Structure 1
Amino acid sequence: MLVGGVATAALALTLPQSAIATGSSTPVPIGDPIGPRIQPGPVRVDLTTVTTAVTAPLAGITAKGHPNELFVVDQVGILWSLDLTAPAPVTPTSVLDVSRLLVGPQNPKDERGFLGAAFSPAFDTDGLVYTDTSEATSPADHPLRPSNDACLAGSAQTPDHVDVIREWHLVTDATGALHVDPAMPKGRKLLSSEHPQANHNAGDMHFGPDGFLYVTDGDGGGADDQNCQTNFDGNPMFGHPGVGNGQSLDTPLGKMLRINPRQADTRGTVSANGAFRIPPGNPFPDGTVPEIYSYGLRNPFRFSFDRGTGDLWVADVGQNDIEEVDHVTAPGQNFGWHVKEGTFLFDAGGFQLKGSRSDGFPFANSPGSPANLVDPVAEYDHDDGTAVIGGYVYRGASMPGLSGHYVFGDTSRRLNNGQGRLFAFDADHRSAVTADNTIVELRDAPLDFQLIGFGQDSAGELYALVFGVPGPNGTTGAVLRLSQSGS
């Protein structure tokens, strides 16, 4: 139901009859949801190596007062500083090491680790930086919702890890280099949430134009966002009761959160744990999770704000078929998971504990319906990739052909084959729903690396973050600067 135009936790969604096969009550999987393949556009980009001295670079961010540096989040637990004025290859300098906090041991393709960081908008005066990390299980502000399904009888339902948001204070030494304030060696814990499985952690974070901190959290992992589905360890999934985490307002999982973490900023009401404030305008201030800003997300791994307009863009990784880019325009929006995957209706019921580890599937294209769900502005299927990697709307000077375009990509043309792709669509002149063929490729051939993130420097120039060996291990990570071919 809707209350004041905002969906409540108990969503009642009626599927259109076109979603069901004629003469049957059973949804039918669509073999090829989106037919046209993504083609190269008029602009090509070149890649120049900035550094190869990183492992698994997930994000490249900036700090006020440090215009010539790009700070790189490395999944293994290091926040690196790259001097962009130095000749390549640049030797990174460690600014913050959170590796001791991370859950372990990590498997070769682990999605857990140091997932995101954001500098305070007043970093030049307050020295504050925020991090998102996957840590060992401990009492959390948001524990898992109880699961009472018959398939879980006797199951311990022990969370895999806890997602933690922390605040750190950085100071400069005699050489001007940044390091952690020795008076706060462990930082200040702000918010923690239990995760039932090891994947779908999202963990990106950015301060918005409003001065508040936005953070994404995945649906808790596994597949289908439902209990009793076979997990990757062969056991039934837990931690996804009822309508699933994406559609429930009683959990931070499958959400974008918005908090006011800076103690000098007194806007909003003090949180339940007293560590931060709930910003005015959050859509569910009296709910179980007042930090929620938007919901219905699966694994919103990377997102960004347009430095020119302030618009918020989220790349939400799909399951087996559809990858999507969402445009967040208001608080309280529901982006559909697991009712929909992209613009397609999704059957999450599947075949519980039978056959495939992941049985959910899209079964009908249904743009605009159900009416209370927000469709993506761009989508493509797994003929063109495996996991969308969010980027930025380009506002720099070196690639004029991409001005106003959302530059993003896909991690690998086929699962873990190391062939990342670079895409773009016109964010300034897009239609309400962007069809697959309006996304263009920026290279004539896939990359020789797996794409895992993007960076944006103080001038608005973009960087592709890649590695050759999937997961937070090895020595194949790199930061590559994008430039327009022929310019």
Structure 2
Amino acid sequence: MRRDSRAPSQRRGWFATVGLSCVVALTAAAPAIASAAHEPLGDPVPDVRPGPVQVALTTVTNGVFAPVAGITAAGHPTKLFVVDQVGFLWDVPVGNRAQWPVTPTKVLDVSDLVVGPSRDGDERGFLGAAFSPGFAQNGLLYTYTSEAADGTADYKVPVSTAACALVLPPDHQSMIREWRVTYTPGGGLVVDRTAPGQGRRVFSFDQPQFNHNGGDLDFGPDGLLYITSGDGGGKDDQDCQTDFDARPMFGHPGDGNGQNLSTPLGKILRIDPAARTSRNGQYAIPATNPFVGAPGAAPEVYAYGFRNPFRASFDGGALWAGDVGQNDVEEVDRVVAGGNYGWRLREGAFGFDPAGFQSKGFKSDAFVFAQPPQAGLVDPVANYDHDDGSAVIGGFVYRGTAMPALTGTYVFGDFTRRLNNRHGRIFGVDVTNPSPVTAANVINELRDGPIDAGITGFGQDNARELYVLTVNRDGTGGAVMRLDQARP
């Protein structure tokens, strides 16, 4: 098993689970192909401006490394449980502001299981967790981790047939596990990994490259587990594209994994981990999944056409996701069963031309072009371009009481205004009654400018109040900060 022998506190950097990298790739080994006759758009979306509602930030804890999600557990109304990419699940008390900043306590340590994050730009690690809806009775917790590929994944990497594709072993596998949580003598939560049955393997799938892992877990109001999965990594979701290691990509045949219903890559998936009727006998396929019985389709697929749906959340019965773009456009999606969200045919509300196989740093030679909505493809509710950020970080529709002016607003963010400077931005878009026209749904910035840290996730507590999760600019640690309304 590949392991990073350094202690988590010594592992520099994020990142990151969002589809960025500071690694500079070399020219593609495969020759570029001629692009279709499309006119590239240099400035696809108007700039995001500060809105009338502004938020203040209060530090709850600095005792985390690379936080990517904040979740809740039934029966623990004053706690936010924070997923840390280096392999920890933290218990963060949020109920008494007078005690902030607090020192978190560790609920689960899976740092020995995960591959990554072991270098700046690494998107692997402990990426998501969700407590069972019946947690108060069954004590079950589910996790999403990047682990060493061992040949036992339920889904293998899609087969590349292009002569230029350099077929290699999978970089790693994405693993969904089940744990039973117990109580410490002091009443805290803890996972005793020595207990029988701990870490039950529920579902796994291989990843050809290290990035675009998605990684969020959410139980919906239907009691089923939703899993976000990226397209398998690299750039442009196409075989032969030059990867960050300067070798031609593999594992993205045809129109790419986002459009390939036979693979879990580039999808939002839905399973029932409480039943055992799947092929591997560890979960069940909900009968209402939209592609059950479709020839060749993976029955776990709930929606498809995603590049890297990094964070997702429910607002009542509505599922929202932020999908990270390639070179130009970031998007916010309302996810419906069976929906095709366009990647790699579209990026945001624009046509996407993958062009050739060349790389330009962390970007590719692909571009977006003006194209009206396409039949059968779902355009985002809102989008913005890379004049305003580099990787969307999905959040939550606000339903708390501390920020009344933001009720019905999808609060989300971007990792950094400019690549590698880690100046995150906090955004909002009113989704109370969104227009079907993407451009009509205006995104506002909820601060006067970027914050002095990279934004890596959001959290929502039991009172529906929101928290922003950050990493320091120098990569030495992270923080959890509470959002409150500053004006009006």
Both proteins in one fold, TM over 0.5: yes
Q: Look up the match of 2:305.
A: 296
Instruction: Structure 1: give runs of 5+ residues left out of the alignment.
Output: 1-23, 264-268
Counterpart contact for 2:358–2:364, Cα < 8 Å: no
1:249 is the counterpart of 2:261: yes
Counterpart contact for 1:380–1:436, Cα < 8 Å: no
Q: How does 1:155-194 map to 2 (within 5 A)?
A: 155-181=166-192, 182-184=194-196, 186-194=198-206
Q: Describe the shift of the 1:436–1:100 C-alpha distance in structure 2 as closer, same or farther (beyond 3 A).
A: farther
Question: Residue type matched to 1:180 in 2?
Answer: V
Q: Look up the match of 2:226.
A: 214
Alignment partner of 1:440 out of 439, 444, 460: 444
Using structure 2 for the length normalisation, give the TM-score. 0.89
Q: Distance in 1 between matches of 2:92 and 2:278?
A: 35
Secondary structure of the 1:445 match is: coil
Secondary structure of the 2:364 match is: coil
1:79 is the counterpart of 2:85: no
Question: Residue type matched to 1:291 in 2?
Answer: E
The answer to which of 253-262 and 172-181 deviates more is 172-181
Question: Residue type matched to 1:483 in 2?
Answer: D
Using structure 1 for the length normalisation, give the TM-score. 0.89
Alignment partner of 2:471 out of 447, 467, 471: 467
Aligned length: 447
Q: Deviations over 1:447-470 (max 9, x none)?
A: 011111000000000000001147
Q: Distance in 1 between matches of 2:310 and 2:241?
A: 23
Q: 1:193 Cα deviation (Å)?
A: 0.6
Q: Distance in 2 between matches of 1:437 and 1:426?
A: 7
Q: Deviations over 1:54-98 (max 9, x none)?
A: 010000000001111000000000000011134011110100111
1:417 is the counterpart of 2:430: no
Q: Look up the match of 2:8.
A: none
Alignment partner of 1:408 out of 412, 415, 419: 412
Regions of 4+ moved over 3 Å:
353-357
Q: Look up the match of 2:127.
A: 115
Counterpart contact for 1:39–1:437, Cα < 8 Å: no
Secondary structure of the 1:124 match is: helix
Q: Distance in 2 between matches of 1:156 and 1:432?
A: 41
Q: 1:434 Cα deviation (Å)?
A: 3.5
Q: Distance in 1 between matches of 2:177 and 2:318?
A: 26
1:26 is the counterpart of 2:37: yes
1:235 is the counterpart of 2:239: no
Q: How does 1:277-426 map to 2 (within 5 A)?
A: 277-286=284-293, 287-306=296-315, 309-329=316-336, 331-348=337-354, 350-353=355-358, 358-366=364-372, 368-369=373-374, 371-426=375-430
Alignment partner of 1:64 out of 58, 61, 74: 74
1:481 is the counterpart of 2:482: yes
Q: Distance in 2 between matches of 1:353 and 1:418?
A: 26
Q: Describe the shift of the 1:355–1:90 C-alpha distance in structure 2 as closer, same or farther (beyond 3 A).
A: closer
The answer to which of 372-381 and 177-186 deviates more is 177-186
Counterpart contact for 1:406–1:425, Cα < 8 Å: yes
Q: Deviations over 1:277-325 (max 9, x none)?
A: 001210112344110000000000001001xx32111100000100000
Q: Describe the shift of the 1:61–1:436 C-alpha distance in structure 2 as closer, same or farther (beyond 3 A).
A: same
Q: CA RMSD in A?
A: 1.7
Question: Residue type matched to 2:104 in 1?
Answer: P
Q: How does 1:122-141 map to 2 (within 5 A)?
A: 122-139=134-151, 140-141=153-154
Q: Look up the match of 1:18.
A: none
Counterpart contact for 2:52–2:487, Cα < 8 Å: no
Secondary structure of the 1:277 match is: coil
1:151 is the counterpart of 2:164: yes
Secondary structure of the 1:435 match is: helix
